[in-house]
Structures are given as structure tokens and as C-alpha cells.
Amino acid sequence: MSGGAVSGAADGAVWCTGAGKGIGRAVCLEYARRGRLVVASARTEADLAALAEEAKSLPGRVVPLVVDVTDEGAVMAAVDRIETEHEQISLAILNAGTHKPVNLADFHPETFRRLMDVNVFGVVNGLAALLPRLIARRAGHVAVVASVAGYCGLPSAAAYGASKAALINMAEALEPEMAAAQIRLTLINPGFVKTPLTDKNAFRMPFLITAEEAANRIAHRLDRGRGFEITFPRRFTWQLKFLRLLPYPLFFALTRRLVADR
């Protein structure tokens, strides 16, 4: 538990954004296996309907709720609807994200705007809707899903990595105040997880794991209630943590090899 004794009741609703595919979908199913009421949000109704259908055989329940996280008003309305029609949100997993590789030959401002809008402002909108309620209750748990791509600048990740670095910085900045308000904040930085997003990558992805493995690790660590950061697989993530500490001549000697190996 970070920053002292902060609370997060396990009997409220779990709200997960970006639940239509990948890690978000797998996390929803994992919490349904654990008997929780899960409200799953994404933009595509068909994806959410299929998720809710798959969860019917599990001890918990998945309730689909279509929302575009880039729409501030829609996110506010979604949080209000969850707490009015279902239960108070005790755990929010702000996971919605998108990815597009960026190279010099395909460098467009619109790519950066889109990734920042979804990856950063999607989380900001979720926090803006949640924080007044959690502050008033002096309870709750928010998990922000970033990425190890935010640790340092990596080739082809200029837009994606920048958006995830923004989330890491924002979470670090918010943690002390949230802890003081008895709200637990967890930063999740996965390595390579096999999802429709990573399927876009044209390079080798070391220590690739399935979305189901990632969801199990995330839920286990969130429910244990200890630590600020969840990152995996450690053999890979600690290499990137070390990489960002290197002097620039050494750092670029290594990252330039990634470009040369394409």
C-alpha cells in the first residue's frame, strides 16, 4: 500500500475502460471469476455484448456500458450511471488505449493527437469523474494502465511512448495527494502482451505473454493491496528501467541497434 493506510473496499463495483479487447477484456473476465460485479466500458457494443455473454458462466457478473473515453461528458454520465443503477465504484481500472507505430516516413501530427486524446485524456476524463466521489468517501482504488514504453524513448514509439510517459508522470504526481485522501492509486506498466494492439508491431517482442496471464497478474497484485507499481515480466521491465538510467551516448548506442536490426 502506497503512502500510508489507504482504503479500497472489495465489495463495490469494478469499472474497467478499454474492456472490448486485449488486457481490459481479460481483466473483466478475471474479476468476474473472482465473483465481482464488473462494469465493462468500451466504444464497440458488439465487443461488450460478447464479453458479457462469455462471463455468464462465471461467479460474478459483467455489465456492458458503452462509452467513448475521449468524451468528457459521456464519461461523467457513465460514472453517475454506474453508481446510481449498480454499486459504488470501489476499483476503477483506466485501461483504454490505442497504439500506432511512428517512423520518420509516417510522421503525422494527427497520430499524436489521437493517441494523446485516447491514452492520456481518456484517463484524465476518468479521473475527473471519479475523484470528487472518492474524495468525499475517503475510499477507493484507481489503477492507471500505462506501459513500459513510457520508461524511455524507443524507436517507432514516439507517439505511444510519449502518451504512456505522460501517464507515468501524472500518476507519480497525483499519488501523494490521493494517498492523503485515503484513495489508493496503482500504476500498471505491462511489457509486451499479445493483444490486437501489439499485433501491429513489426519487431520482435521479448517475453511476450497472453492477455489472460497479464490479467491474472494485475488482479492478484491489485487485490493484495501493496505497492504503487505493477510491472511485468520483470526480466524485461527491469532492463528498460536500467536503460533509462544510462548516459545518452550509451543509451543511443543501444537504441540505434534496434533501428539497424529492422
Instruction: Tell me whether residue 6 is in a domain.
Output: no
Smallest CA-to-CA distance from 184 within 76, 88, 91, 82 is with 91
Instruction: Tell me whether residue 2 is in a domain.
Output: no
Q: Residue 170 is part of a domain; what is its CATH number?
A: 3.40.50.720
Instruction: Tell me whether residue 5 is in a domain.
Output: no
Domains: count for the chain: 1
Instruction: Tell me whether residue 53 is in a domain.
Output: yes
Q: State which residues form the domain around 155.
A: 13-260
Is-contact 100 110, C-beta < 8 A? no
- Cα 131 to Cα 143: distance, rounded to the nearest angstrom: 13
Name residue, grid cell 477507493: 140
Instruction: Tell me whether residue 209 is in a domain.
Output: yes
Strand pairing category for 13-16 and 37-42: parallel
pLDDT, tens digit, 9 for 90 and up, residues 148-199: 999 999 999 999 999 999 999 999 999 999 999 999 999 999 987 766 665 5
| pLDDT at position 193 | 76
- Cα 256 to Cα 99: distance, rounded to the nearest angstrom: 22
- Cα 138 to Cα 131: distance, rounded to the nearest angstrom: 10
Instruction: Tell me whether residue 4 is in a domain.
Output: no
Residue spans of alpha helices (H) in 34-105: 45-54, 72-85
248 catalytic, yes or no? no
202's CB contacts (< 8 A; 6+ apart) are 101, 262
| pLDDT at position 235 | 84
Coil, strand, or helix at residue 73? helix
Q: What is the pLDDT along the chain (262 residues), one digit of tens a residue?
A: 333 333 334 589 999 999 999 999 999 999 999 999 999 999 999 999 999 999 999 999 999 999 999 999 999 999 999 999 999 999 999 999 999 999 999 999 999 999 999 999 999 999 999 999 999 999 999 999 999 999 999 999 999 999 999 999 999 999 999 999 999 999 999 987 766 665 555 555 556 789 999 999 999 999 998 899 999 988 889 999 999 999 999 999 999 988 866 5
Smallest CA-to-CA distance from 21 within 12, 29, 11 is with 29
| pLDDT at position 197 | 60
Instruction: Tell me whether residue 119 is in a domain.
Output: yes
User: What is the pTM (predicted TM-score) of this model?
Assistant: 0.92
Smallest CA-to-CA distance from 29 within 155, 235, 212, 169 is with 212
| pLDDT at position 140 | 98
| pLDDT at position 5 | 35
| pLDDT at position 198 | 54
Coil, strand, or helix at residue 141? strand
Coil, strand, or helix at residue 183? strand
Instruction: Tell me whether residue 1 is in a domain.
Output: no
